[in-house]
Structure 1
Amino acid sequence: MYAKSGDIESSKSVFDRMPEKNEISWTVMIQGLAENGFAVESLFLFVEMKRTSTVAPNELMLLSVLFACSHTGLIDEGLQYFNSMEAVYGTKRKGRHYTCVVDMLSRSGRLVEAEELLKSMPFQPESNAWAALLSGCNRHKNEEIAERTAKKLSELAENNSSGYVMLSNIYASAGKWTDVMEIRRLMRDRGLKKSGGCSWVEVRNEVHCFYSEEASHCQLAAIYDLLQLLRVEMLTIEE
């Protein structure tokens, strides 16, 4: 409960006071640390579990370990865990494990390895795996792999505009405006639109949503008035 709500300190406090820790408690704590931005601590706890307990790593726990390796840049360590899942831990690799490793490789710029992993999978990759590779192509400006990936992603999710948008961004960053216009034409022909960005904040148990493409909040005028007032006060303090 604490980990899911983001209160990781309370979660750790309860975990540390437990007289006995089973598979569930270790899994939840390792996962909670990884998903709340404490990737290094998550990996340390996994090592401690292997050293001090008889609990065997399960597929959800190993997914959290892969996630932690991805977000700390420990690519080789993540690959070692991934390759050891069946031989060492007796846990079968599933689609989400492959997706996590593809994301890990793509984030680090090892795009060729990520693409080869997708091609070698023993079952059909998730669309999220192709999306992770395309995102990596966007970040590292690899047009060649991006084109192949966008085509595959469009086959799996014909009504999803994200692949086209990322490919368009790659072309735009390379100054290939003709290709950008072609992508936009394809999106129009297929009736696809880029989803607007959305942010939200909870105030007094009420969620307020803000969209980038429309002035949707009922108190928008009051919000802008207050922001302008704060801006004036900040400028006054600086002077």
Structure 2
Amino acid sequence: MPTAPSAPPAPSVPPAERPKVLIVLHQETSSPGRVGQALERRGFHLDIRRPRFGDLLPQTLEAHRGAVVFGGPMSANDPEPWIHREIDWMEVPLREQAPFLGICLGAQMLARHLGARVAPHGDGLAEIGYYRLRPTASGSSLMDWPDFVYQWHREGFEVPAGGELLATGDAFENQAFRVGPAAYGIQFHAELTYHMMNRWTVHGSARMAMPGAQGRRDHFAGRALHDAAVRAWLDRFLDLWIGTADQPAAQAAAG
């Protein structure tokens, strides 16, 4: 399958004048990581908002090229009002067919918005570390996928009605799906940087004792083996999903 050329370096245009991508984070110290870095290299300005701490989400994405909703330690099933408001807000990118990406919690929120179930594994398993990923026929027709991806979750999502399953896993079968022309949900963390892995495995060390989770040493060994393929996948995905500031992806332009 032919691949698009790598994105050019970010242009020397003031950030306020660049096309914006909405970035939704859920903790005070959260970072958009490699996804944010890649979007900036593609010429986008990151409009970072944290609804959990009072930031409002836009009523339309007309002023944004797309939106990314990241993960967090909370659950899409939690009763906090801000979680319900954020799930309801996902009507905006879906209605406008704007490029939307939900990562981990963001994907689970998208599934909930569309009426699908989000729940823990039936045997109490967690995926914390690197785990095998298998593209479906639909996923393979879009792009090449890495064999292993980084996970940090104990809940999974059903594929919503009308959604297209793109990748599967072992313990948690549903790993990536698409809804409409430009909305994607992925369970795994392609945004992870080396700094983030250090922080997560220190502050979240208790989670590595959960059934199915991998030990800290295995996280770093897995990164050495698999990170290059995940990084290459992210570039392919962004080519497909949003393109660059100067050259939108075909589906982004159509939306």
Structure with greater strand share of residues: 2
The reply to whether TM is greater than 0.5 is no
Higher relative helix content: 1
Which structure carries more relative contact order (alpha carbon 8 Å, separation 6+)?
A: 2
Name which one, 1 or 2, has greater alpha-carbon Rg.
1
**TM-score normalized by structure 1?**
0.30
